[in-house]
A and B are shown apart, each in its own frame.
Chain A
Amino acid sequence: MPKTLFDKIWERHIVTMIDDNQAILYIDRHFIHEVTSPQAFNGLTKRKVGLHNVKLTTATADHNVPTINQDQPIKDPLSKKQVDALNKNCADFGIELYGLGHEKQGIVHVIGPELGLTRPGMTIVCGDSHTSTHGAFGCIAFGIGTSEVEQVMASQCIIQKKPKQMLINVNGKLSKGVSSKDVILYIISKIGVAGATGHFVEYAGDTIQSLSQEARMTVCNMSIEMGARGGLIAPDEKTISYLEGKENTPKDEEWELSKAFYQELYTEENAKFDQVYNFDATDISPMITYGTNPGMGIKIDESIPENTSNSESFKKSLNYMDLQSGKEMLGMPIDYVFIGSCTNSRIEDLREVASFVKGKQKADKVKVFIVPGSQAVEKIAIAEGIDKILIDAGFEFRQAGCSACLGMNEDKIPPGKYCVSTSNRNFEGRQGPGARTLLASPLTAAAAAITGKITDIRTILNN
């Protein structure tokens, strides 16, 4: 029977089957961070066991860290305690840690790929739902809870049932001003926030192939926002050239063997999927969300839809956002712009924003902050003069971390304020109690920063 890419990877990681459904699945790389690991470490201590294969775990501090003055002690005592606990646990258990201040520190889903720790054919887990990001390299990568973090620490394995599989094909040429973020927001708006629950998604088609390796990460990153366990894309020459020479990428003879292995990682013709969707890239416009889940997205020049099914949840959502059905989003004044998060904080995102912003000024009343995904990204941005372009435009150029994506640190959006955000979730209170999030691409966010309102980037680019 022809196999999918997912089947191939899954099968070579089954240690044994517990019963007809549940597999003991071997994990090739485990990423941990300060928020979802302390209870797992407590568990290990209580059991008096260490990590089964400590070399396969990598730690960083990202969720809680401040994005200014990172050289100084963390002010929030609870955040400090959590980051300190990570430092201590990693030291006690012998785990490689890229902690606050380390040159390799950054958002866990940004540093994995840039260090070459994320590679095709791997199984990767992390106590964070956006672990799906790593699927852009052709791996099975998914978010897990803390009990599962402890499972992996103790045994390098996880007990999992094989999910169903979904294929999403996107074909056609994207218009100018339309990015991979718009592609995934469009897909989620069509499939819905629960449309892929129980499934692992493979993204394919010439549009997906045309995306850069980093842009593919943005697509896979948001797989969880339609309920999918994860998303993956078959590796190709772009993937290989992205990885070549990275710190942890195999070298010399091993690299040749690895490349041969990667070339076998594709879905065979006529392989079976439980569900298939086909989308036309020419129908995709810059997208914006208007509600409180990522499925509530529209083309930027559309009006907010009617509540046709008279849903209480829809009413509650628009009430929270203080928006009404029929209202146009274009021209709506906004208060904040946040460019960052594991969705859109890589160097290509920053370059794209800088090239648009160069020589322009942000709107007076808008506060704009841009947070690089890692220290490495920050370093490249500075070397290329991107920081200066952004600062000249009135943006705050911050230090690496998850920041206002989830507001665990000081980077919060005040109650009632509208924030155009390149992050992945517009849930109630996600960016701070009462904050109103409008998800969009880095370009759309940059355009809003300059004009102070929701703007169709195409009208600027085409002028």
Chain B
Amino acid sequence: MEKFIDLKSTAIPLPIEDIDTDQIIPARFLKATTRQGFGENLFRDWRYNREGQINNQFVLNNPIYHGKILVSGKNFGCGSSREHAAWALYDYGFRVVVSSFFADIFKNNALNNGLLPITVTPEKLHQIFSLIENDPNTNFSINLASQTFSQPKSGVEISFDIDPFKKMCLTKGMDTIDYLISQKESITQFEANHKIY
């Protein structure tokens, strides 16, 4: 996993609730056997119409909006466990997703791929949407060490929660699989005394 690097970026607003992973990456694009290239089909059926033409109404196709932060309505990433959703967002260029609520599996998948999910209160989320609406060039700063999401000009300074272990993994770009492999001795010991009925 790549280390998470603190960033300053504009944000793309997607004020829709309950965005499920089928929207983020439809099932028919899950047939690849590698992790790369899913960004091309991120939000495929919202970005393109059924004839394959670009849907200009969709925010990712609106040149006014750009940046590495996606701001979305509550319960982002619900539905399927497909990690391809996190891969697609990362591959497209997002490094942070902000919402008032994340689905559990998506959140884990994001954190395992260097994509930072930031949970804010519904009021703060509303405020962030307004700031972007007023000025799409508004820059937000994210600092993982201090766990802050801020926009100094407008006085926005939000502290967010993150599990300490997940924070350490993101900060160091630590690979949890290597970590588990390093724990083999205790795992083998556990197995010796564990019975599966």
Contact = CB atoms under 8 A, between A and B. Distances in A.
Q: Which of A120, A128, A146, A163 has the most CB of B within 10 A?
A: A146
Contacts of A26: 187, 190-191, 194
B79 interface: yes
A159 B176 contact: yes
B145 interface: no
Given A52-B184, A262-B197, A425-B22, A127 B81 contact: yes
Nearest to B19: A313
B91 interface: no
A205 B58 CA distance: 46
A101 interface: no
B163 interface: yes
B103 interface: yes
Contact of A293 (B18, B163, B197): B18
Contact of A194 (B45, B78, B184, B197): B78
A19 B168 CA distance: 12
B78 A128 contact: no
A145 B103 contact: no
Contacts of B81: 36, 127-129, 131, 143-145
A427 B104 contact: no
Contacts of A24: 180, 183, 186-187
A146 B81 CA distance: 9
Nearest to A254: B197
A407 interface: yes
B41 to A, nearest CB: 12
Contacts of B50: 415, 433-434
A212 B58 CA distance: 46
Contact of B33 (A85, A198, A408, A430): A85
A428 B83 contact: no
B82 interface: yes
B139 interface: no
A13 B191 CA distance: 10
A39 B82 CA distance: 12
A159 B183 CA distance: 12
Nearest to A160: B108
**Chain A interface mostly:** loop
Contact of A193 (B75, B83, B181): B75
Interface string A118-132: 011110000111010
A12 B191 CA distance: 11
A250 B32 CA distance: 38
Interface stretch (A74-82, A335-343, A371-379, A440-448): A74-82
Most A C-beta atoms less than 10 A away, residue of B17, B20, B32, B180: B180
Given A146-B83, A227-B75, A425-B22, A159 B31 contact: no
B27 interface: yes
Contacts of B17: 311, 313
A227 B26 CA distance: 19
B20 to A, nearest CB: 5
B196 A28 contact: yes
A267 interface: no
A261 B194 CA distance: 13
Interface string B50-78: 10000000000000000000000111001
Nearest to A21: B163
Contacts of B154: none
Given A36-B82, A313-B16, A429-B26, A148 B183 contact: no
A6 to B, nearest CB: 15
A308 to B, nearest CB: 15
Given A15-B190, A36-B81, A197-B104, A81 B27 contact: no
Contacts of A415: 50
Interface in B10-48: 15-18, 20, 22-23, 26-28, 30-35, 45
A97 B117 CA distance: 36
Contact of A78 (B26, B31, B112, B178): B31
Contact of B104 (A47, A229, A261): A229
A127 B186 CA distance: 25
A42 B23 CA distance: 26
B18 A22 contact: no
Given A42-B33, A146-B83, A433-B45, A197 B113 contact: no
Contacts of A262: 197
Contact of A15 (B32, B35, B73, B187): B187
B74 A194 contact: yes
Interface of B: 15-18, 20, 22-23, 26-28, 30-35, 45, 50, 73-75, 78-84, 86, 101, 103-105, 108-109, 112-113, 163-165, 176-181, 183-184, 186-187, 190-191, 194, 196-197
24 contacts: A22-B163, A47-B178, A49-B181, A52-B184, A63-B30, A127-B83, A128-B81, A145-B82, A145-B86, A147-B112, A147-B177, A151-B176, A154-B177, A194-B18, A198-B104, A227-B75, A313-B18, A406-B80, A408-B27, A408-B31, A425-B80, A427-B20, A428-B22, A429-B23
Given A21-B164, A194-B78, A415-B50, 20 more contacts: A15-B183, A16-B190, A26-B191, A39-B83, A42-B35, A63-B30, A64-B31, A82-B31, A121-B197, A144-B105, A146-B109, A159-B179, A229-B105, A293-B18, A312-B16, A313-B16, A425-B79, A425-B80, A427-B22, A427-B23
The 9 A-B pairs with the shortest beta carbon distances in the complex, nearest first, are A145-B83, A38-B33, A145-B109, A155-B180, A78-B31, A143-B81, A147-B112, A258-B197, A129-B81
